[in-house]
Amino acid sequence: MCGIVAAVAQRNVQDILLEGLKRLEYRGYDSAGMTVFSDGVLTRHRALGKVAALAARLDAAALPGFSGVAHTRWATHGKPSEANAHPHHSSDQVAVVHNGIIENYERIKDNLQGSGYEFYSQTDTEVIAHLVAEKQAEGLSLFEATQQIVNGLGGAYALGVMCAAEPGVVVGARQGSPLVVGVGINEAFLASDPLALLPVTDRFIYLEEGDLVELREQGAIRIVDRHGNGVERAIDTFEHGDGAASKGEYRHYMLKEIFEQPKVIEAALEGRLSANSVLVESFGPDAQALFQRTRQVHIIACGTSYHAGLVARYWLERYAGVPVQVEVASEYRYRHPVVPEGTLFVSLSQSGETADTLAALRFAKTLDYIGSLAICNVPGSSLVRESDITLMTRAGPEIGVASTKAFTTQLVALMLLTLSVSKAKGQAEYPDIIAALRTLPEVCQRVLALDRQIEILSQAFAEKHHALFLGRGAHYPIALEGALKLKEISYIHAEAYPAGELKHGPLALVDSEMPVISVAPNDDLLEKLKSNLQEVRARGGQLFVFADESVGINAQEDIRVLTLPHVHEALAPLLYTLPLQLLSYHVAVLKGTDVDQPRNLAKSVTVE
Ligand code: G6P
């Protein structure tokens, strides 16, 4: 989604802001802009398109100065255009960058227009600039003005505000959208994601809901909470390192992140297993008692994370004997869910900032759950801070919009949850699955070695407009995820079905033009799956099968088969995800799409 960077420094901030924007581009990217206090005035450049377009403007006319605010935009109110790009100004007095949505902006806009303020954009953000200017005209400081006006803003926001009257000051506010303060040496920064600021600091303050912060010269930082009381917030050191923000030897972040999976799966397991068992305390000191009381689980998530939740349903029911419901957050939050006694609420999110998932958690906290668990990749994110217990997936920053390593590490975390619930309830401890988990990084490595073969396979898809993915059991969600990946980055229409449903409709679509992709691990549904594949062959469909080396499905004219190493049945969904990721990647590269930043999508959807 949108990204904010702001700085008050002892050096020229233009390049710090620009580098920050480049690093945030993966979140949303239809336009970008920057305002710097330069030569005694607030000076702004904005450009439609990628950050590179803004960089070209800056090459032509630099914006040197010691303080500034900058933004990448993903349109919500008003189409992508230069006029709608942030920062928004009130005259040349106030500049604002904003993530989120101001729900009551129309009424505020009417009032401001009544007072003579002119509007130059269709955004909800512009009202904030005028509101601050109006308060400043009454004699308030930038901090006081911002503090007063945020109370009247409905919806969600993270803000960065500066004004011509106080050149060395930037004010930030957070309500419903993430914002961090970067603590430098005699300088201070703001950003919607710490990644943006890693070239200048690794020390961060994660603001809390309702916090207002003032950055001043010499690195002075003042924070007040939602009640207006001065507060000290802890400074955390960012531990992921900065390597994640570069592509290294890879052509795209997505490919890099696919190939990082053995390493991050290992990281996700580290310190969480004993010789033959899972360490329940990986979920925190309260987990044992909570899991003991768990009689049901409700899992809520969006997008790829939702697919991870669907896999977990098969696991938790089969291996921990606990009934599970899985639902997308945007539906759940507006239902009237019935919460049976002893139900644990589990939210899954790579970013921990997805608006619907966060709203679902907050809603769940008003219901009769025994507790909330967040499985998340971003420490310090809202979801993590607001849940009772948490487990970090340790995938490291994921830049490609299409989620890959975040998904497989979520699956690892969900298997750890399955084993932990079973163990805490005094049931089986599954040493066989534990042993298989340990070998998983190495088996994944062997699957990734099939990359070249998958690349060759991908040529059959480049001219296609549709594709069908089939799976059974816990591999049905893997088929869903495979179809999502293909449509996200190659724009080929793809659907997934449980293979047993084929004859209830989708079979009508199958002809010699329709590629049908199936995953065929060696499990107790294999024979049934084989019959389903015959149904496709009989209609002339082109089959692409990813199969366990032992299942005996042979390549023929109308079936192309890629064999995968054998893995414990429980972990097969994780392994079979990898070739589907690589397939989508190579198809997208052949089609020439923007793999890391597919059209119309954003990495972290912080609006509803
Ligand atoms: C967006 C991203 C997806 C992601 C989904 C949920 O749609 O493009 O890749 O799966 O949000 O994000 P989360 O951070 O909550 O896992």
Quote the ligand 1 centre to 310 CA distance (angstroms). 15
Quote the ligand 1 centre to 350 CA distance (angstroms). 7
Residue nearest to ligand 1 atom 4, measured at CA = 303
Cβ–ligand 1 contact at 484 (below 6 Å): no
What radius of gyration, in Å, describes the C-alpha atoms of the chain? Answer: 25
Structure tokens at 214: 């003032």
Q: pLDDT value at position 26?
A: 65
Residues in the chain: 608
Quote the ligand 1 centre to 353 CA distance (angstroms). 9
**Domains of the chain, with CATH numbers?**
2-241 (3.60.20.10), 253-444 (3.40.50.10490), 451-591 (3.40.50.10490)
Q: pLDDT value at position 608?
A: 75
- Asked if 571 and 415 touch (Cβ cutoff 8 Å), the reply is yes
Determine the angle formed by the axes of helices 431-448 and 572-591, rounding to 10 degrees. 20
Give residue for tokens 């500049």: 95
Query: What's the Cα-to-Cα distance from 528 to each of 108, 316, 499, 516, 573, rounded to whole Å?
Result: 61, 23, 9, 16, 17
Q: Which atom of ligand 1 is nearest to the CA of 488?
A: 8
Q: pLDDT value at position 510?
A: 86
User: Given pLDDT bands bounded at 50, 70 and 90, which one contains residue 176?
Assistant: confident
pLDDT at 29 over 80: no
How far is residue 557 CA from its own chain's centroid? Answer: 41
Q: pLDDT value at position 305?
A: 98
Q: pLDDT value at position 244?
A: 57
Residue nearest to ligand 1 atom 3, measured at CA = 303
| Range with the poorest average pLDDT among 225-239, 498-512, 525-539 | 525-539
Q: pLDDT value at position 525?
A: 72
Q: pLDDT value at position 156?
A: 81
Quote the ligand 1 centre to 608 CA distance (angstroms). 12
263 classed as catalytic = no
Over residues 186-194, the mean pLDDT reads 95
Q: pLDDT value at position 252?
A: 95
Over residues 10-32, the mean pLDDT reads 87
Cβ–ligand 1 contact at 294 (below 6 Å): no
Over residues 360-383, the mean pLDDT reads 94
Q: Which atom of ligand 1 is nearest to the CA of 357?
A: 15
Q: pLDDT value at position 240?
A: 64
User: Given pLDDT bands bounded at 50, 70 and 90, which one contains residue 284?
Assistant: confident
Q: Which atom of ligand 1 is nearest to the CA of 410?
A: 16
| Ligand 1 mutation target, pool 351, 599, 600, 607, most atoms within 8 A of CB | 351
312-364: pLDDT as tens digits:
999 999 999 999 999 999 999 999 999 999 999 999 999 999 999 999 999 99
Cβ–ligand 1 contact at 381 (below 6 Å): no
- Asked if 575 and 447 touch (Cβ cutoff 8 Å), the reply is yes
| Range with the poorest average pLDDT among 186-195, 441-450, 592-601 | 592-601
Cβ–ligand 1 contact at 347 (below 6 Å): no
Residue nearest to ligand 1 atom 2, measured at CA = 603
User: Given pLDDT bands bounded at 50, 70 and 90, which one contains residue 75?
Assistant: confident
455-510: pLDDT as tens digits:
999 999 989 999 999 999 999 999 999 999 999 999 999 999 998 898 898 888 88
Over residues 4-28, the mean pLDDT reads 90
Q: pLDDT value at position 1?
A: 61
Which residue out of 135, 405, 485, 603 is catalytically annotated? 603
Cβ–ligand 1 contact at 350 (below 6 Å): yes
Q: pLDDT value at position 238?
A: 84
CA-nearest of 154, 168, 165, 141 to 224 is 141
Cβ–ligand 1 contact at 1 (below 6 Å): no
Cβ–ligand 1 contact at 303 (below 6 Å): yes
| Ligand 1 mutation target, pool 257, 302, 348, most atoms within 8 A of CB | 302
Q: Which atom of ligand 1 is nearest to the CA of 602?
A: 8
In sequence order, what are the residues at sequence separation of 6 or more whose Cβ sits closer than 8 angstroms to the Cβ of residue 508? none
| Ligand 1 mutation target, pool 411, 487, 605, most atoms within 8 A of CB | 605
Cβ–ligand 1 contact at 604 (below 6 Å): yes
Quote the ligand 1 centre to 349 CA distance (angstroms). 7
Q: Which atom of ligand 1 is nearest to the CA of 304?
A: 10
Cβ–ligand 1 contact at 351 (below 6 Å): yes
135-145: pLDDT as tens digits:
999 999 999 99
Cβ–ligand 1 contact at 403 (below 6 Å): yes
Cβ–ligand 1 contact at 605 (below 6 Å): yes
Query: What's the Cα-to-Cα distance from 537 to each of 470, 514, 542, rounded to whole Å?
Result: 14, 11, 7
Q: Which atom of ligand 1 is nearest to the CA of 402?
A: 9
603 classed as catalytic = yes
Cβ–ligand 1 contact at 601 (below 6 Å): yes
Q: pLDDT value at position 15?
A: 94
Alpha carbons within 13 angstroms on the beta-carbon side of residue 459 total 5
pLDDT at 535 over 90: no
Q: pLDDT value at position 505?
A: 87
Across the chain, mean pLDDT equals 93
Scored b (16 or more CB within 10 A) or e, 36-48 reads bbbeeebbbbbbb
pLDDT at 524 over 90: no
Over residues 591-596, the mean pLDDT reads 92
Quote the ligand 1 centre to 342 CA distance (angstroms). 29
Q: How many CB atoms lie within 10 A of CB 454?
A: 23
CA distance linking residue 574 with residue 586, whole number of Å: 20
Over residues 402-418, the mean pLDDT reads 97
Cβ–ligand 1 contact at 330 (below 6 Å): no
Q: pLDDT value at position 557?
A: 77
User: Strand 343-349 and strand 371-376: pairing?
Assistant: parallel
CA-based angle 420:426:428, to the nearest 5? 70
Cβ–ligand 1 contact at 401 (below 6 Å): yes
CA distance linking residue 122 with residue 251, whole number of Å: 37
Identify the residue with better confidence: 309 or 396.
309
Quote the ligand 1 centre to 357 CA distance (angstroms). 10
Which residue out of 2, 163, 376, 444 is catalytically annotated? 2
Quote the ligand 1 centre to 577 CA distance (angstroms). 17
Cβ–ligand 1 contact at 252 (below 6 Å): no
Q: pLDDT value at position 537?
A: 82
Cβ–ligand 1 contact at 282 (below 6 Å): no
In sequence order, what are the residues at sequence separation of 6 or more whose Cβ sits closer than 8 angstroms to the Cβ of residue 15? none
